[in-house]
Chain A
Amino acid sequence: MEELFKLVPLVVFLPVIGLLVNIIFGGRMGEKAIGAVASAASGLAFVVSILLGIALWTGHGEAHVVPFADWIKIGTLDIPWNFRVDTLSVTMMLAVSCVGTLIHIYAIGYMHEDVRFKKDEKRYRRFFVFMNLFIAMMMILVSGDSYLMLFVGWEGVGLCSFLLIGFWYDMDTLGRPSWANANAAKKAFITNRIGDFGFLLAGMAMFWYFGSVQFGEVFGIAEQIAAAQPGVIVAITLFMLIGVAGKSAQIPLYVWLPDAMAGPTPVSALIHAATMVTAGVYLVARSWPLYSLVPNAQYIVAMVGAVTALFAATIAVGQYDIKKVLAYSTISQLGFMVAAVGMGAYVAGMFHLVTHAFFKALLFLSAGSVILGLERGHHHLAHHDSHQEGHKGHEDVFDPGDMRNMGGLRKRMPVTFWLYLIGTLALAGIFPFAGFWSKDEILLDARLHYPGVYWLLTIAAFFTAFYMGRQIWMVFFGKPRHEAAAHAQESKPIITAPLMVLAALSILGGALNLPFEGFHNLTHWLEHTIEGVEGLPLNWGVAGLSTLLALIAIFISWLIYGRKPLETGQKDPLKKPLGFIFTGMENKWFVDEGYQAVFLKPYTAISRFLAEVVDWRFWHDWFHEKVIAGTYNWLSNNVLSLAIDTRGIDAFFNGLGALVKQAAVGLRRIQNGFVRSYALAVLLGVVVMLGYLLLK
Chain B
Amino acid sequence: MVPVTYYLALSAILFTMGALGVLIRRNALIIFMSVELMLNAANLAFVAFTRTFEILDGQVFVFFVMAVAAAEVAVGLALIVAIFRSKRSIDVDQMSSLKG
Chain A interface (Cβ < 8 Å from any Cβ of B): 668, 671-676, 679-680, 683
Query: Across the interface, do A676 and B98 meet the contact criterion of CB distance under 8 Å?
Result: no
Assess the B97–A673 pair: CB atoms within 8 A: yes
Contact of A679 among B23, B97, B98, B99 (CB under 8 A): B23
Contact residues of B between 72 and 100, Cβ < 8 Å to A? 92-93, 95-100
Given A676-B23, A680-B23, A683-B23: A668 and B100 within 8 A (CB)?
yes
Q: Does B19 contact A (CB under 8 A)?
A: yes
Residues of A close to B100: CB separation below 8 A: 668, 671, 673
The answer to whether B93 touches A676, judged by C-beta atoms less than 8 angstroms apart, is yes
Q: Which of A668, A671, A676, A683 has the most CB of B within 10 A?
A: A676
Contact B92 A676 (CB under 8 A): yes
Return chain A residues, CB-CB under 8 Å to B99.
671-673
In the complex, residue of chain B having the shortest beta-carbon distance to the beta carbon of A687: B19
A680 CB contacts on chain B under 8 angstroms = 23
Chain A nearest Cβ from B65, distance in angstroms: 19
Closest chain A residue to B95, Cβ basis: A675
Additional A-B contacts beyond A671-B100, A673-B97 (5; CB < 8 A): A672-B96, A673-B96, A676-B22, A676-B23, A676-B24
A679 touches B22 (CB 8 A): yes
Partner of B92 from the list A672, A674, A683 (CB cut-off 8 Å) is A674
Which residues on the A side are within 8 Å of B93 (C-beta)? 674, 676
> Nearest 6 CB-CB pairs, A to B?
A673-B96, A673-B99, A671-B100, A673-B98, A675-B92, A679-B22
Q: Is the interface of A mostly helix, strand, loop or mixed?
A: helix
Closest residue on chain A to residue B16 by CB atoms: A683
Smallest CB separation, B24 vs chain A (Å): 8
Please, which residues of chain A bring their CB within 8 A of the CB of B97? 673
Return the chain B residue nearest A680 by Cβ. B23
The contact sample of 25 A-B pairs, CB cut-off 8 A, is A671-B98, A671-B99, A671-B100, A672-B96, A672-B99, A673-B95, A673-B96, A673-B97, A673-B98, A673-B99, A673-B100, A674-B93, A674-B96, A675-B92, A675-B95, A676-B22, A676-B23, A676-B24, A676-B26, A676-B92, A676-B93, A679-B22, A679-B23, A683-B19, A683-B23
Residue of B nearest to A683 (CB): B19
Give chain A nearest CB distance to B8 CB in angstroms: 14
Most buried by B among A671, A672, A675, A683: A675
User: Smallest distance from the beta carbon of B96 to chain A beta carbons, Å?
Assistant: 3
CB distance from B37 to the nearest CB of A (A): 14
Instruction: Give chain A nearest CB distance to B40 CB in angstroms.
Output: 18
* Bound-state Cα–Cα, A673 to B97, Å: 6
The CA-CA distance from A210 to B77 in the complex, in Å, is 121
B26 to chain A: which residues have CB within 8 Å? 676
Bound: A672/B94 CA distance, A:
11
Q: Which residues of A contact B95 (CB under 8 A)?
A: 673, 675
Residues of A within 8 A of B19 (CB): 683
In the bound complex, how far is the Cα of B24 from the Cα of A673, in angstroms?
A: 16
Chain A residue nearest to B24 (CB atoms) is A676
CB closest chain-B residue, reference A677? B23
B35 to chain A, nearest CB (A): 10
Please measure, in the bound complex, the distance between the C-alpha atom of A65 and the C-alpha atom of B91, giving whole angstroms: 124
Task: Tell me the chain B residues, 24-55 only, with Cβ under 8 Å from chain A.
Answer: 24, 26
The smallest C-beta distance from B45 to any residue of chain A, in angstroms, reads 15
State the Cβ distance, B6 to closest chain A Cβ, in Å: 20
Chain B proximity of A673: nearest CB distance (Å): 3
Inside 8 A of A673's CB, which chain B residues have their CB?
A: 95-100
Closest to B19 in A: A683
Question: What residues of chain A lie closer than 8 Å to B92, measured between beta carbons?
Answer: 674-676
Determine the chain B residues whose CB is within 8 A of the CB of A675 once the complex forms: 92, 95
A residues near B98, Cβ cutoff 8 Å: 671, 673
- Distance of A683 Cα from B23 Cα, bound (Å): 9
**A74 smallest CB distance to B (angstroms):** 84
Chain B residues within 8 Å of A683, by CB: 19, 23
* B residues near A674, Cβ cutoff 8 Å: 92-93, 96
Least Cβ–Cβ distance between B97 and chain A, in angstroms: 6
Question: Closest residue of chain B to A669, judged by CB?
Answer: B100
Q: Which residues of B have CB within 8 Å of A676?
A: 22-24, 26, 92-93
- Please, which residues of chain A bring their CB within 8 A of the CB of B96? 672-674
Q: How far is the CA of A295 from the CA of B87 in the complex (A)?
A: 133
Q: Give the residues in chain B near A679, CB-CB below 8 Å.
A: 22-23
Query: In the bound complex, how far is the Cα of B25 from the Cα of A676, in angstroms?
Result: 9
Separation of A673 and B96 alpha carbons in the complex (Å): 4
Give A680 to B100 CA distance when docked, in angstroms. 17
Q: Give B89 Cβ to nearest chain A Cβ, in Å.
A: 14
Given the complex of chains A and B, what is the CA–CA distance between A675 and B26 in angstroms? 10
A200 to B97, CA, bound (A): 100
Expressed in whole angstroms, the minimum distance between the Cβ of B12 and any Cβ of chain A is 11
- C-alpha spacing A671/B97, complex, angstroms: 10
User: Contact string, B1-25, partner A, CB cutoff 8 A, digits 1/0?
Assistant: 0000000000000000001001110
Give Cα distance in the complex from A674 to B28, angstroms: 12
CA distance in complex: A668, B100 (Å): 6
B-side contacts of A668, CB under 8 Å: 100
How far apart sit A230 and B19, CA to CA, in the bound complex (Å)?
122
Interface centre among A673, A680, A683 (most CB of B within 10 A): A673
Question: Least Cβ distance of B26 to chain A in Å?
Answer: 7
| Interface positions of B from 47 to 70, Cβ below 8 Å from A | none
CB distance from A520 to the nearest CB of B (A): 126
Give the CA-CA distance A671 to B24 in the complex, in Å. 18
CB distance from B22 to the nearest CB of A (A): 5
CA distance A668 to B19 in the complex (A): 25
A33–B95 Cα distance when bound, in Å, is 114
How far is it, in angstroms, between the C-alpha of A671 and the C-alpha of B96 when the chains are bound? 9
A442 to B97, CA, bound (A): 128
| Across-interface contacts of A671 in B (CB, < 8 A) | 98-100
A671 to B95 alpha-carbon distance, docked (Å): 13
Determine the distance from Cα of A351 to Cα of B71 in the docked complex, in whole angstroms. 141
Task: Give the distance in Å from the alpha carbon of A663 to the alpha carbon of B54 in the complex.
Answer: 54
Considering the complex, give the chain B residue whose CB is closest to the CB of A671.
B100
* Bound CA–CA A672/B96 (angstroms): 7
User: In the complex, which residue of chain A has the Cβ closest to the Cβ of B98?
Assistant: A673
Chain A residue with minimal CB distance to B25? A676
A676 to B30, CA, bound (A): 13
CA distance A471 to B98 in the complex (A): 124
Task: Give the complex CA separation of A486 and B58 in angstroms.
Answer: 154
Q: A585 CB to closest chain B CB, in angstroms?
A: 114
Distance to closest chain B CB from A266 (angstroms): 105
B3 shortest CB reach to chain A, Å: 21
Q: A683 to B99, alpha carbons, bound, how many Å?
A: 20
Give the complex CA separation of A92 and B100 in angstroms: 110
A672: B residues at CB distance < 8 A: 96, 99
Residue of B nearest to A672 (CB): B99
- Report the bound CA distance from A52 to B86 in whole Å: 128
Complex Cα distance, B93 from A385, in Å, reads 127
Determine how close the nearest CB of chain B comes to the CB of A694; give it in whole angstroms: 13
